[in-house]
Amino acid sequence: MKKTVEVLPDQTALIARSLDLILTKLDTAIKQQGRFTIALSGGSTPKPLYEAIANQKLPWDKIHVFWGDERYVPPDHPDSNERMARLAWLDRVDIPNTNIHAVPTLDNDPAVSAAKYEQHLQGFFHSAPGEFPALDVVLLGMGDDAHTASLFPHTAALQVRDRLITVGNKDGNPRITFTYPFINAAKSVMFVVAGANKRPALAQVFAPSADDLAYPSRLIQPQGELLWLLDAAAGAELSA
């Protein structure tokens, strides 16, 4: 694993650097394999990044978008990660609808939705059960409790190692999430984290030893590249 930590002066610089890295990876992936696959994170931090991507002139038909996690709400719900990404980016560009691989959230049972999303991913990547296909980029945020995607501290989702997708649990509310082994299969995992409120959790995630189940972002140790992109408010005291 190649781990890099970059601390940018402020959130504007953080978003600009994140955009630059994504565009470089996108260009390389399309040149080498004819397509680029990225899993999006939710929450508030990535919204300006998605807006910046929407302003680029890109080969949208070669770009495939997935979600690393999703709240278990309809896609038009204010909490929906899909809704946020569509408003900030996807509805503003000419990307084919078949390239937008949204998480199903309208079944009565989150486990059914998780299985459906897993089957969709296996079909897209032509992977067999037990195989972990490698996305080009998995974008991640981190909560102030050190959760990432919807892998929350001391939840059952942290124990799932033989699936791509599982059901997360945030304070009793179901989420659909990539498992940490699936995230770790990515060619590049990019954390984009901002704000002083994330500093204590980052200290635990970067500590030489701490409880992985208490600080789930510690579980993200990809075979490929691990990039931590932080603003100074979050990461001033850290280094690789």
Ligand X SMILES: O=C(O)[C@H](O)[C@@H](O)[C@H](O)[C@H](O)COP(=O)(O)O
Rule CB under 6 A: is residue 181 a binding residue for ligand X? Answer: no
Report the residue from 21, 38, 48, 69 that binds ligand X according to the rule CB under 6 A: 69
Smallest gap from residue 61 Cβ to ligand X (A): 26
CA 60 to CA 58: how far, in whole Å?
Answer: 5
Smallest gap from residue 200 Cβ to ligand X (A): 14
CA 186 to CA 50: how far, in whole Å?
Answer: 20
**If binding means CB under 6 A, how many residues of this protein chain bind ligand X?**
13
Contact 189, 222 (CB under 8 A): yes
Rule CB under 6 A: is residue 169 a binding residue for ligand X? Answer: no
* Strand residues in 45-164 grouped as ranges (E): 63-67, 69-71, 137-140
Q: What's at 71, amino acid-wise?
A: R
Report the residue from 18, 37, 80, 81 that binds ligand X according to the rule CB under 6 A: 81
Q: How many CA atoms within 13 Å lie on the side-chain side of 79? A: 10
Smallest gap from residue 142 Cβ to ligand X (A): 6
Contact 67, 42 (CB under 8 A): yes
Rule CB under 6 A: is residue 141 a binding residue for ligand X? Answer: yes
Rule CB under 6 A: is residue 42 a binding residue for ligand X? Answer: yes
CA 25 to CA 212: how far, in whole Å?
Answer: 29
CA 58 to CA 27: how far, in whole Å?
Answer: 9
Q: Which stretch binds ligand X (CB under 6 A): 20-28, 136-144, 208-216, 225-233?
A: 136-144
What is the dihedral sign for C-alpha 119, 123, 126, 132?
negative
Q: Which is nearer to ligand X, 45 or 169 (CB)?
A: 45
Contact 149, 185 (CB under 8 A): no
Rule CB under 6 A: is residue 80 a binding residue for ligand X? Answer: no
CA 26 to CA 61: how far, in whole Å?
Answer: 12
Rule CB under 6 A: is residue 235 a binding residue for ligand X? Answer: no
Q: Which is nearer to ligand X, 86 or 147 (CB)?
A: 147
Rule CB under 6 A: is residue 45 a binding residue for ligand X? Answer: yes
Rule CB under 6 A: is residue 44 a binding residue for ligand X? Answer: yes
Smallest gap from residue 178 Cβ to ligand X (A): 10
Rule CB under 6 A: is residue 168 a binding residue for ligand X? Answer: no
What's the gap between Cα 192 and its chain centre? 9
Rule CB under 6 A: is residue 217 a binding residue for ligand X? Answer: no
Residues near ligand X, by CB under 6 A: 41-45, 69, 81, 141-143, 147-149
